[in-house]
Amino acid sequence: MGTILVQDEPGSIRLEHFSRREFLQWSRKGLAGLFALALLEHAQGKERIIPASKRAGSPAAENEVPEKGRVLDNTLSIYKRPSFSAGLVNMYWRDLIFPINGITIGDQYPTHNRVWYLINNEGYAHSGKVQPVAVRYNEPLASLPKGGMLAEVTVPYTDAVRDPNRPQRYDYFAYRLYYSTVYWIEDVLNDKKGQRWYRVNDDKLKITYFVTAEHMRPVTPEE
């Protein structure tokens, strides 16, 4: 854990540049605490220090910092500062999972989203190119209600397969399912090794595939 120190150096943004519309957008994203902290420290003439120890799910977290991130595009550039004009320190590739150590506000571009993440304690990545994710394993169900039920992916991604008992198939892998997406599961299968899978029927492509049960959280009717 630690802190992010954001100084008023060239390329960073000062608080008076924020519009009411931007503030409301960030409030809806749960980042109002980050803005308020920066505003208070600016009024006191201090450097803006944004804690990186607040994690999503904590009752005290006003500005939630995701646990991990996933690269959305083919590549993700990591910069020395939260600015596209800063020096490049690393390049990540699509679907790579990495720790997010903190959250801060960068320069004036892009104007619609100035939120950046401190990545792997080595540099900054723009939040628009990162999916915040977590790793949550679930207790597999032994059976499902008649007709099936919804289930949510709770890991960064999971690879669905066509037949868990035939890994030698050339088309063994069917799809890659991503964090927080929801699917209708219709049955439970135990493979030859004792691992439990949920069956998903794709009504559009008319195919069936299986997903590791531990990677999916069944959604209750109350939800």
pLDDT recorded at residue 53? 52
139 contacts 89 by C-beta, under 8 angstroms: no
User: 31 pLDDT band (50/70/90 cuts)?
Assistant: low
More confident residue, 68 or 27: 68
212 contacts 158 by C-beta, under 8 angstroms: yes
- What integer is the mean pLDDT of 60-76? 78
How far, in whole angstroms, is CA 174 from its chain's centroid?
23
Please report which residue ranges of the chain form alpha helices under DSSP H. Answer: 20-28, 32-43
Give the tens place of pLDDT for each residue, 36-60.
Answer: 444 444 444 333 434 445 544 443 3
Residue written as token pair 């209600």 = 145
What CATH number should be reported for the domain whose range is 149-218? Answer: 2.30.30.40
pLDDT recorded at residue 170? 85
Q: Is the pLDDT assigned to residue 6 strictly greater than 90? A: no
Q: How far apart are CA 105 and CA 14, in angstroms?
A: 10
CATH of 3-133, one of 2.30.30.40, 2.30.30.100, 1.10.630.10, 3.30.1180.20: 2.30.30.40
Beta carbons within 10 angstroms of residue 212's beta carbon: 21
Give yes or no on whether 3-133 and 149-218 have one common fold. yes
Is this model's pTM higher than 0.85 or not?
no
pLDDT recorded at residue 8? 38
pLDDT recorded at residue 197? 98
pLDDT recorded at residue 21? 53
pLDDT recorded at residue 25? 52
Domain ranges of the chain: 3-133, 149-218
144 contacts 199 by C-beta, under 8 angstroms: no
